[in-house]
Amino acid sequence: MAYRDLVRGWHEGILAMDKGDWDSALKIFSSIEEPSSRIYFNIGCVHLLTGNLEGALQAFDKTVTKDNHLAIGFFQRGFVCLQLEMYEEALYDFSMALTHLRNNPFIDYKQLGLRHVLCAWEVLYNTAAVQCQLGLWQEARITLEEAIRQRPEGRTTSLDVALEWVQNHLFLEPIHVPLGEFFRPRKEEVEQLDSKDFLGKPKVRHPTLQKGQSYCKNVSMGP
């Protein structure tokens, strides 16, 4: 599929999502040939909005298959696995999300079109939420203490409360990318949909010829 056509379908799918027309959004995204990891991610987010956890899981499976370094993809799949009580799978996904954060405190996905910053403390918090479900209360406490160390100073109140919950053997509510946030094509790409070819090169617009003029250049046939 030409990249221009992918962007066009991507943009049309986003417009449908912004209107809350989930069925149309899924139909448009599903019609895209060779979807990117970000398209699959969006499909997963739509399924989450409609409560289709199995559909979301399949979409996030394809997300991380397309891009096995996409930390936010593993994070979202881990959340779905947790909802489906697939706890070991959830632990694996949150571990992979941390791995692909590469010891960074966060990854800002704005440049890739997603208005979300994935923080290491969020991944650790969800890891602790899974450990609680498995009855690993001591491990959950240690994980939350690490999350507190990684969260910016002055913003640890909610984690302090979570730590108290764990100490009282109360389950944690997992977090995820806010509903309604999707990967969007770049504004520049959308604006130039009709002025670029599939390689992203500007189209050549030939000047209008006057009567009697020729567009051909003089070509030397030899010395």
In the chain, domain spans: 3-194
Q: Tell me the sheet residues that pair with 131.
A: none
Q: What is the structure's pLDDT at 2?
A: 78
DSSP label at residue 151? S
The residue type found at 67 is D
Residue 158 CB neighbours (<10 A): 13
Query: Domain 3-194 class?
Result: mainly alpha
Kindly state the percentage of the chain with pLDDT values over 70: 85
Q: SS3 for 99-149, per residue?
A: HHHCCCCEEECHHHCCCCEEEHHHHHHHHHHHHHHCCCHHHHHHHHHHHHH
Residues 24/46, Cβ–Cβ less than 8 Å: no
| Separation CA 217–CA 188 (nearest Å) | 34
Task: Using DSSP, state whether 196 is helix, strand or coil.
Answer: strand
pLDDT band (50, 70, 90) for residue 178: very high
pLDDT band (50, 70, 90) for residue 195: low
Element (H, E) at 18: helix 3-18
Q: What is the mean pLDDT of the chain?
A: 87
Q: Tell me the sheet residues that pair with 107.
A: 118
- Give the phi and the psi of residue 115 in degrees, each rounded to 5: -80, 70
Nearest to 49, CA basis, from 179, 182, 181: 179
Question: Considering all CA atoms of the chain, what is the largest pairwise distance in Å, rounded to the nearest integer?
Answer: 94
CA angle (22 as vertex; 51, 28 as ends), nearest 5: 130
Residues 202/188, Cβ–Cβ less than 8 Å: no
* Tens digit of each residue's pLDDT (9 = 90 or more) over 76-116: 999 999 999 999 999 999 999 999 999 999 999 999 999 99
pLDDT band (50, 70, 90) for residue 190: confident
**CB under 8 Å to 9, separation ≥6 — which residues?**
28, 29, 31, 32
Residue 71 CB neighbours (<10 A): 25
| Separation CA 162–CA 129 (nearest Å) | 10
